[in-house]
Structure 1
Amino acid sequence: MTLQSPAPETKSAASSDVAAAFDDFARTFDAFRAANDERLAEIETRLSADVVSEEKLARIDAALDDAKRRLDRVQIERSRPALGAPSEAGRDAGLAEHKAAFDLYVRAGEASGLKRLEEKALSAGSGPDGGYLVPGTVEKEVLTRLANLSPIRAISSVRTISTGLYKRAFSTAGPASGWVGETASRPQTASPNLAELAFPAMELYAMPAATQTLLDDAVVDIDAWLAAEVETVFAEQEGLAFVRGDGVNKPKGFVAAPAVAEASWSWGNLGYVATGAAGAFPAEGPADVLIDLIYALKAGYRQNAVFVMNRKTQSAMRKFRDDTGAYMWQPPAAAGQPATFMGFPVVEAEDMPDIAANAFPIAFGDFRRGYLVVDRAGIRVLRDPYSAKPYVLFYTTKRVGGGVQDYAAIKLLKFAAS
């Protein structure tokens, strides 16, 4: 079963939806800016803002968040590719055969076709806990959707491995070097000191359920249904683990990594800059600490650096203005682009901590170099028609790991006196 390419009218409608959502977001930000300017003017003249103005700004701020969420949702839905394109089946007969066998297994529980394919390929497609690997098109679709939904995965390096552990060597102290003349002797240099980082792939699961009536309906694209059912669960669990995971049966999050003051930074720790006020930005020049955070990062990392924070923290930073009165937070210049703060992209990750005493609500860095996501190839599905009759459960697992791979590439902002 294949899906036809969207008709031109459908593509046009999707483009119109994105444009309308972006226009709504832009109008809401203009209203937010006007309301905040009015509030600041009241503070300058009366030394305090009117309660009505504060409430108005809060309502517009909430509407701005809603408009951004609608824009993100429309863009994600538009970017989802169709599964099972005829060209893919035509290029690879084996892929089409696997897809057909998997479809029969999901709908009717008939596994003989998948078992025959495993024997033919001389590979173990089922593990000791049972189940079968999904077709490559479904795995690719799930990973594509996760890249759209999981903010940290989208900005990090991603490696696909065939084993349960990825190891990476790094140099704690480079070899000795120096300048010499053309004919001068070359003294022997010291050997580099190497250490090893290990990234185990942990098991992540989801268990979507379907009625037998749905499975019997030939019009339903089972591949698309399964990908849609597991995408949100996987994205939510991944997003939390990549940010705050403790490394126990889950990836190690960058906020959970050891952190020290930037002046005392050493490899194996993330450096942080303190705001100077417990649980708050400084009362005077609140944006100055963000400038310090930016320049705590080496120039080579700043070229591709981004801010990472949640919605509440971003809401507080929207009000910051520079000496000329211009807002330092700027909305996206076009649909599909991120908001920026001082020219750097802002990535919204809801699993980042809220502003609180001794918390790390803001990260800044080159996450492509700083954080590594490890995917073990293969997503496995075990069909269970017995545990929740009359529903059929599909125990779906993938193995994923993650952790900081370059401790110099990410800096944190700590809301503390020091």
Structure 2
Amino acid sequence: MTEALEQIETKATLTVAETGEITGMAWPFGTTDLVGDVIEKGAFDRPQSLPMLAEHDSGQTIGVWSEITETPEGLHVKGKLLIHDVPRAREVADQIRQGDLGGLSIAFVTKAAQRHTKGRNITALSLREVSIVKQPCNPGAHVVSLKSIEKESHMENEASQTPANDAPQIDAKAFDAVVQRLDKLEAKGNRLGAPAVVQGDAEQKAFVNYLMTGSEIDKKALTTAADTSNHILMPDEVSNEFIRNLVEFSPVRAISDVRSTGAANIILPKRTGITNAIWVGETTPRTGSQPTFDQSEIAVKELATYVDLSLQLAEDSANVLSEVTTALAEDFGQKESLAFVNGSTALEPSGFMKDANIATTANGSKTALSPDALISLMYALPATYRATGTWVMNGKTLATIRTLKDGHGNYLWQPSYQAGQPETILGRPVVEAVDMPDIAADATPVIFGDFKRGYRIYDRLNVAVLADPYTVRVNGLMRYHARRRVGASVVRPDAFRKLAMAV
């Protein structure tokens, strides 16, 4: 494999001490990551030291891993965050303590692997760096400990009973060597004529050739969808671009909690009862309590279509990839958006407007939108959801609200004064969703709530494509069958409130 075509892959567990010393499980053996890959014991080359990054950001090294060891359980790493020298390292340490970061993800170049129906068995690889991340590719990869930054803190002695002298000492020459190695990787990616995306470059080329010709040779070099024969998974960088295009047509995805899953059904615990603590005197008997729990299920649904392109367009390598992904993203995005809002059948994700558990606020009129009702709706939500809430409505409703004023003559709607920032209603952002109902008697044209906490989307399969060069070839066309699998549902009805056009 040549240097220019190396595929750098990322996988990920972590522990940090507050002196900057950090230990973690970089890869647990006997586990499968989110994309179906398994790394076998003995596959790692285990260099003497590695750069420590945050979220694989090669722009700044936040520390050095000085010990890389392989045990029967997995690949363990130990090193030190440069908390006294690099501001970003101090930020990462704080985020680990707060629980915002805690995963580990490895970047590597595959040297030997065998493909199977769900992914790969990797038997040899070259480690490039280990990053501290929020969402590791392998759920079992995490930080184990972080020692205290504050010298006067007693947390370290109480928690780990580790003397300060045991902290790993970073050799200056070793650190310089790691930085130089990282600089070379960064320079290689930025030099004139280098491919814009290093990871998956060869796979992307094979995918474009497959779209152009439907060739079985190129198809064998790609990853086949595990749950459907013949359909080919888009390479990661193409799939990521597809998702970005999807957000343009499915705005709910941009404000909701979006996760990945490998399951057909997701079971979530749900608390249905609370404890019953009461105020007591010094000798008053105490009462016991036990909260009750239930389960909620989010089923993954399938969305499928096909698109026809002319053979001449398919043969134009400069256009075929963008044309296929844009056409599919527009179609999938529109269908997704409709389902996320109004989905109610057994074949669709559950729409938030169809959730009977979301409370409503009466508008006070069946025909004219009331500014007082919007204010009442917003403040009917608990403060924790109100402070992070988003308004969702269609363009007609938004046009009406733009004309409304409060009792002091101030417009409820305010424009965006900064590029990239949304317009607001009563100080909270508003998102336009074309599938929301119009203002009409007994309709619910407006919803407000915390979508990040209240509405969850699970992606099971981003997009899989089957190129069919035969069915419509007589008309000079190439047909592309595509499918994706996604599930969604309201997980916290109390995080939302709908406006009902009722008295």
Letter in 2 for 1:409: A
Between the aligned partners of 2:271 and 2:301, the Cα distance in structure 1 is: 26
Is the contact between residue 138 and residue 224 of structure 1 (CA under 8 Å) also seen in structure 2?
Answer: no
Aligned to 1:304: 388
Deviation at 1:87, TM superposition (A): 5.0
State which of 356, 371, 379 in structure 2 corresponds to 1:287. Answer: 371
After superposition, where does 1:18-417 map in structure 2 within 5 Å? 86-89=195-198, 92=199, 95-115=200-220, 125=225, 127-177=227-277, 189-218=288-317, 220-258=318-356, 269-281=357-369, 286-389=370-473, 390-417=476-503
Identity %: 35
Deviation at 1:126, TM superposition (A): 5.2
Deviation at 1:413, TM superposition (A): 0.4
User: Deviation string for 1:253-307 (max 9, x for gaps)?
Assistant: 111111xxxxxxxxxx1100111222333xxxx2111111011100110111111
Is the contact between residue 101 and residue 111 of structure 1 (CA under 8 Å) also seen in structure 2?
Answer: no
Deviation at 1:215, TM superposition (A): 2.3
Between the aligned partners of 1:272 and 1:350, the Cα distance in structure 2 is: 21
Between the aligned partners of 2:283 and 2:254, the Cα distance in structure 1 is: 50
Between the aligned partners of 1:361 and 1:378, the Cα distance in structure 2 is: 30
SS of residue in 2 equivalent to 1:173: coil
SS of residue in 2 equivalent to 1:249: coil
> 1:247–1:156: structure 2 CA closer, same or farther, 3 Å change rule?
farther
SS of residue in 1 equivalent to 2:212: helix
Aligned to 2:59: none
User: Which of 1 and 2 has higher RCO (CA within 8 Å, sep 6+)?
Assistant: 1
Is the contact between residue 126 and residue 132 of structure 1 (CA under 8 Å) also seen in structure 2?
Answer: no
Letter in 1 for 2:310: T
> 1:364–1:378: structure 2 CA closer, same or farther, 3 Å change rule?
closer
More off after superposition, 331-340 vs 308-317: 331-340
Q: Which runs of 5+ in 1 are unaligned?
A: 3-84, 119-123, 259-268
SS of residue in 1 equivalent to 2:483: strand
User: Deviation string for 1:70-94 (max 9, x for gaps)?
Assistant: xxxxxxxxxxxxxxx82532xx4xx
> 1:86–1:298: structure 2 CA closer, same or farther, 3 Å change rule?
same
Q: Which runs of 5+ in 2 are unaligned?
A: 6-193
Between the aligned partners of 2:486 and 2:235, the Cα distance in structure 1 is: 18
User: Deviation string for 1:69-128 (max 9, x for gaps)?
Assistant: xxxxxxxxxxxxxxxx82532xx4xx233223322222222223443555xxxxx53544
Between the aligned partners of 2:455 and 2:246, the Cα distance in structure 1 is: 16
> 1:108–1:126: structure 2 CA closer, same or farther, 3 Å change rule?
farther
Between the aligned partners of 2:311 and 2:283, the Cα distance in structure 1 is: 81
Letter in 2 for 1:410: F
Letter in 1 for 2:274: G
SS of residue in 2 equivalent to 1:130: coil
Deviation at 1:350, TM superposition (A): 1.1
Is the contact between residue 360 and residue 497 of structure 2 (CA under 8 Å) also seen in structure 1?
Answer: yes
Deviation at 1:207, TM superposition (A): 1.8
Aligned to 1:10: none
SS of residue in 1 equivalent to 2:406: coil
